[in-house]
Amino acid sequence: MSRIPIIAANWKMHKTGTEAKAFVEQLKGLDLSSQVRIWIAPSFTALPVVTAKKTPFVFGAQNMHQADEGPFTGEISARMLKDAGADFVILGHSERRMLYQETDDLIHLKLKKAVEADLLPLLCIGETEHERAAGHTERVLAAQLTVALKDINCAEVVIAYEPVWAIGTGKAATPEMAEHMHLYCRSILADIGHERWAEQTSILYGGSVTAEAARALFQQPNVDGALVGGASLNAQTFYQIIQGVNP
Ligand code: 13P
């Protein structure tokens, strides 16, 4: 079964609408392969700016609230994101887990709401350095997947394995390490869902992805693309990562 590679940009709290628009114009002008899907998650305010015009890219958000609507000052709903042109939403990013105390149970509620609203969830999972050193990596990933995906059809989800120790540190996982963990995630998906879902679900790697690291990572049969932070902020650098899919 062949999964079409996805290269996703998580811009975090970077780029205004104007800057996002300039990036999209620049990337659009480059020679892009039709064999790869390019996803971009800009800020909430940049979303309607970049989705106003037709582009070859898929746009999404970096977070959302689990309720339909209500007295939640400063929050944003799935329906608002859809209306702003989002097709996917990143959920469970380690920065949300660590800085905003998001738990697996909360991420599960958000994920359910996203699927209900026809937003494709991009679920992030990953262990901390401490958890890896203690030999708990597999246990952590299994728990994160099992709780977040309870009663969810796995076919409607994309997973990003982002070891916390690799995010923004310049220390990407080795291709072999990523392949090993992605295979492990597939075994969990098979346990909680269905063998076929486990095979169909795209699993991206995230954490200090650069053009150099990307080529070797994408050669692994179970690495279906990347979720890129810092290196996605520059259109040329991001383009070089995209090119790593078909070297
Ligand atoms: P970096 O690519 O900057 O390490 O960030 C990865 C990430 O958090 C993507 O969601």
User: Each residue of 219-243: pLDDT tens digit?
Assistant: 999 999 999 999 999 999 999 999 9
Of the candidates 217, 192, 191, 215, the residue with the CA atom closest to the CA atom of residue 203: 217
Output the CA angle 173-125-112, nearest 5 degrees. Answer: 155
Please give the model's pTM, rounded to 2 decimal places.
Answer: 0.97
**CA–CA dist 239, 32 (Å, integer):** 8
Pocket test for ligand 1, best of 98, 209, 217, 232 (most atoms within 8 A of CB): 209
Q: Is 162 in the pocket of ligand 1 (CB under 6 A)?
A: yes
Q: What is the pLDDT of residue 121?
A: 98
Q: Are strands 88-91 and 58-61 parallel, antiparallel or unpaired?
A: parallel
Mean pLDDT of the chain: 96
Q: Name which residue sits closest to atom 7 of ligand 1, judged by CA.
A: 229
Q: Is 168 in the pocket of ligand 1 (CB under 6 A)?
A: yes
Q: Is 210 in the pocket of ligand 1 (CB under 6 A)?
A: no
Index of the ligand 1 atom closest to the CA of residue 124: 10
| Digit-coded pLDDT (tens) for 182-202 | 999 999 999 998 888 899 999
Whether the CB-CB separation of 202 and 157 falls below 8 Å is answered with: no
Q: Name which residue sits closest to atom 2 of ligand 1, judged by CA.
A: 229
Q: Show which residues are catalytic.
A: 93, 162
Query: Residues of the chain with pLDDT > 90: what percent?
Result: 91
Whether the CB-CB separation of 181 and 160 falls below 8 Å is answered with: no
Whether the CB-CB separation of 39 and 20 falls below 8 Å is answered with: no
